[in-house]
Amino acid sequence: SPSDLLSQFKHAGPRTRTHVRAAELLDTTVELIREMDMDELLHATGCSAELRPPLCQTDCLSNRYRTIGGECNNRQHPLWGAANTAYTRWLSPQYQDGRAVPRGWDLQYGYHNFTLPPVRAVSQQILYTQNEDISLDSSLSHLLVEWGQWIDHDLVLTPQTPSKAAFHTGVDCTHTCSRDTPCFPIQIPSSDPRASAQSCMPFFRSAPSCQVLPLCHREQLNAITSFVDASMVYGSTGPLASALRNHSSPFGLLAHNLLHSDQGLAYMPYLPRQPSRPDPCGPLVTSTTLPPCGHLGDSRANEHLGMIALHTLFLREHNRLAQELHLLNPHWSPETLYQEARKILGAVHQVLTWDHYLPRVLGQKAHLELLPPYQSYQPDTDPSVANAFATAAFRFAHVTVHPVVNRLDPGYRPSSHHPDLPLHLSLFASWRVVQEGGIDPVLRGLLLYPAKLQTPGQMMVEELTERLFQAQGGLPLDLGALNLQRGRDHGLPGYSAWRRLCDLSVPATVTELAGMLGSAKLAQKLLHLYGTPHNIDLWVGAISEPPLPGGRVGPLLSCLLGKQFRALRDGDRFWWEREEVFTGAQRAELQRVSLSRIICDNTGLGHVPLDPFAHTAHAGDMVPCSHPRIPSLNLSAWRDDIIMFDVMSGYQFGGRVWLPRVTVGSLNETLNRDCLTLKQSDIHQPCDSDVDECAQEAPPCPVKAQCVNTPGSYTCTGKDTAVLPRHRRHSIRYKASLCSRQHNQIVLLTLCPSIPSLLPVCVSQR
């Protein structure tokens, strides 16, 4: 059923399910036993373990690569931005009972002397737009819309409760119109065209978080990392990240489909078939026994053809990066290749989102004001996604979705073999990619066709309000009503409170509201439903505002989006512009990143637009992939400079730049580690000065050897230094670091496992 499908793409992993089970026990128990000691409840339900902060490492790897689950990004607050933590709040929630009951739970409950309208009535009277009655955006391609959802899936996944029955009565939530947590069904008004077929639409409350204290109200859970880190490619838990890798490859690759390919290019691997769960991704009538749902880092990967195309594209891009890095650095281990490719791909997503996507959404002026140039990492900034952003603000693009999925041939013409599809026929249809031409026709359609233009009378197409999941059978859902009900479930305050948060004027009359929305008709409709501007649900109020110059969102959404994306940037210890994350040469290359280039490198497309987010009016305006304004990412900036040195004698490399003395541990220990970190305090002397090691209290050479000082190092002479006995090789302590006047804090050593002997040892400067 459509309700089952909604559960399918909100499917939580084992780690999230453990948290949710504990949180549901706690939430329900708190309702029943208000006076019981909270510490006892936390322990008895399992929530105390879920809230315990992790122990953060401080070694080289933890400084170089972010964790899969996002924990320890901030060392003082290790759970900030981590997966399976609560959304943050910019305003306190307004639950009906002050603790957990959603707004609008009691249909007669008054807010500012008015009851809240049924969300389905708001969808019908404000949002509903016939598929044929839309205007097209002359400036933006539909790929911009797709990118917004793609990044949303990097930031936000709100699992719904896994419980299917009401806690108090045991009734199945899919077959009841009674409100009993977790059932929060959507009413169908008597005037609704659907009223003859159904009296309500199933809706399950979002899963709670264990984070009840000290807040004492219900919070919802973000099952994935808050950071823009390409988690939809790699996953947000260790087991999932491991399951997505090709462990038999020496190149650090992600796993791909072994049964089918796209003219030699990879498809995403299939999910293992689960007999207890029906497969929603295949055609309704098929003889195939293959499980066509794809297995990638986000459970929503199969939601529709555009999302499947982007998942496939970036699976290929990771593997392309990893293989190129191997050619540059054949001594790198599979783990290093995987982590470096993952690190680059995460940075690519940050550049494309902040520098290419957000200016078009916010408008150039608002973009510069809300997101001024990056200065530095701010450890006191919480990068966690806010509840209002996840539940309302970043759902703005739902009203820019086109009702048709266009598929085009290599000449960017309508394809006779793979014709255009109504949007609802592309949902959970990953089988179409394999059987109907791969991802190239879909990408051409996204590049050439424009986004839908939002106007006060053209909000959300009927494909989304009347036909959501219709192709899979059962009564379809309504995305607009789901958005509004979700906001009430999460206790989001009304429209006026958010205007006040952003220092914007608050409307009190229909005239003032009409002035803000630029439409007297829309203002009248909203007040007819809500009675007062204060009660308007955040999402519908925010999307109703006319866009700022050059952008596609109004003042309130600009404020909320800017606030969130600035926190995501400044509170991320691994932000790509931070000097400690990439070298200057690497940052210069990353600035040249182009989504068109990524498409060229990983598909059969030979012609693309210079700006894939801009609407290209004619297919003839596409340029060849060899165009100089679509540069390739030059990975030579990631090549290691290999330096050989003898662990006993040290090594001087050129002029006044040499190896200072730093003790880093036993050779045996070092060979089993990927890298070592040396602090500035470990460097005994600046790079352009020398120290006489032989004059120290404990000379570094063996007892029978003579120590001879050399510029930047020392030499041990004598018979004990020529050949080291095999039994002594694993106990040698060596002194090595790389230092230059330009990089006085160079810290990374990478040992080359390809060298069979322990002498000489290979180190690399990063």
Residue 16 host element (H or E): helix 14-32
Specify burial of residue 165 (Cβ count, 10 A radius: 0-12, 13-18, 19+): middle
Supply 438's token pair. 């791969």
Q: Is 19 annotated as a binding residue?
A: no
Tell me which residue of 126, 114, 124, 111 sits closest to 190, measured CA to CA: 124
Angle between the 305-328 and 595-602 helix axes, to the nearest 10 degrees? 80
Tell me which residue of 246, 231, 283 sits closest to 84, measured CA to CA: 231
- β-pairing, 733-735 with 663-666? antiparallel
- The whole-angstrom separation of Cα 502 and Cα 369 is 14
Residues 6+ apart with CB under 8 A from 728: none
Specify burial of residue 551 (Cβ count, 10 A radius: 0-12, 13-18, 19+): buried
- The whole-angstrom separation of Cα 642 and Cα 755 is 12
Supply 169's token pair. 């009565």
- β-pairing, 460-461 with 128-129? parallel
- The whole-angstrom separation of Cα 292 and Cα 396 is 30
Torsions phi, psi for 642 (to 5 deg): -90, 130
Angle at 612 between CA 611 and CA 615, to 5 degrees: 90
- The whole-angstrom separation of Cα 636 and Cα 642 is 14
240 within 8 A of 298, measured Cβ to Cβ: no
Supply 645's token pair. 């040195």
Residue 410 neighbours by CB distance under 10 Å: 13
Alpha helical stretches, state H, 398-450 = 431-435, 440-448
Of the candidates 153, 304, 311, 607, the residue annotated as catalytic is 153
Residue 104 host element (H or E): none
Residue type, 554: G
Supply 709's token pair. 């000082």
154 within 8 A of 230, measured Cβ to Cβ: yes
**Cα Rg of the chain, angstroms:** 29
Tell me which residue of 401, 374, 410, 320 sits closest to 635, measured CA to CA: 320
CA 755 from chain centre, in angstroms, equals 39
- The whole-angstrom separation of Cα 415 and Cα 409 is 5
126 within 8 A of 465, measured Cβ to Cβ: no
State yes or no: is 615 an active-site residue: no
- The whole-angstrom separation of Cα 407 and Cα 414 is 6
Residue type, 14: P
592 within 8 A of 631, measured Cβ to Cβ: yes
Q: Can you count the helices (H) and strands (E) in the chain?
A: 26, 24
Tell me which residue of 640, 573, 147 sits closest to 352, measured CA to CA: 147
With tokens 């330096």, the residue in question is 643
Residue type, 272: P
Alpha helical stretches, state H, 52-127 = 60-64, 119-122
CA count, 13 A, side-chain hemisphere, 298: 29
- The whole-angstrom separation of Cα 314 and Cα 320 is 9
Tell me which residue of 752, 676, 739, 682 sits closest to 712, measured CA to CA: 739
Among all residues, which ones are annotated catalytic?
A: 153
Q: Residue positions in the annotated binding site?
A: 398
Q: Residue positions in the annotated binding site for heme b?
A: 398
